[in-house]
Amino acid sequence: MNEEIVAQREYWNNEADAFSRIYSHRKSKLSNMLDSIFRKDMYDRYVFTIKHCEPIQDRTFLDVGCGNGLYSLELARKGAKKVVGIDIAEVMIGLCKDAAAKENLDDRCFFEQTDLLAYEGKSKFDVSFGIGLFDYISDPLPVLTKMRELSTDKAIMAFPRYWTWRAPVRKVRLNARGCDVYFYTKSRIKELMDQAGFKRHEVHRVGKLHCVIGYV
């Protein structure tokens, strides 16, 4: 495990509960109101991704950096044949496994603690996606390339946009807590998607994010 993964793993193990509360709204009224303003992109990227995973029924999905499993579990509920969620943070993976077991989704929804580059699963997936992932990866090209290799239809990614007022604020706030964060211009994404070997790609602007679909 390289230094970056070790630092990210520690950060996300500590943040797992706070992160889950953004989605479950187990917060004060004020915090929920602030999230609905400042974290609107998190809800919008979810809607974008689930929509672009369609058709879901009987297809297979790889959720890279699955966090607490929100996306994986929803795809399983919607009839996916198989969903694999991977994440470097074991606390996140624990939350995912508990939730899958509680909803009886654990016959088609599987979770593994690993970094994508170390993931050894042999089967390919119809769709892979990495949401809220590239913010935390200093060298995205090998990750994008492996997502392309593991997908037969498409890969879906969200990249935080470079030129937003929130980028420097986030950078300072997260750096102070030991978490590096990275931002992307549209031209950098185009270059990365071409280098990763996608046949073609689309970049959609979603709030302060670039949501990208790479076709295999």
Residues making contact with ligand SAM (CB under 6 A): 5, 8, 12, 64-67, 70, 86-89, 92, 115-116, 131-133, 136-137
Name the helix (H) or strand (E) containing 39. Answer: none
Nearer to ligand SAM, 179 or 216 (CB): 179
Name the residue number minimizing CB distance to ligand SAM.
Answer: 67
Nearer to ligand SAM, 70 or 216 (CB): 70
Q: Three-state SS for 73? A: helix
Please state, in angstroms and rounded to a whole number, the distance separating the CA atoms of residues 33 and 7. Answer: 30
Residue 45 CB, shortest distance to ligand SAM, in Å, is 7
Centroid of chain to Cα 149: 17
Residue 3 CB, shortest distance to ligand SAM, in Å, is 12
Burial class of residue 104 (count of CB atoms within 10 Å of its CB; 0-12, 13-18, 19+): exposed
Nearer to ligand SAM, 115 or 126 (CB): 115
Please state, in angstroms and rounded to a whole number, the distance separating the CA atoms of residues 200 and 118. Answer: 26
Q: DSSP secondary-structure letter at 62?
A: E
Residue 5 CB, shortest distance to ligand SAM, in Å, is 6
Nearer to ligand SAM, 64 or 216 (CB): 64
Nearer to ligand SAM, 113 or 186 (CB): 113
Please state, in angstroms and rounded to a whole number, the distance separating the CA atoms of residues 176 and 171. Answer: 8
Burial class of residue 114 (count of CB atoms within 10 Å of its CB; 0-12, 13-18, 19+): middle
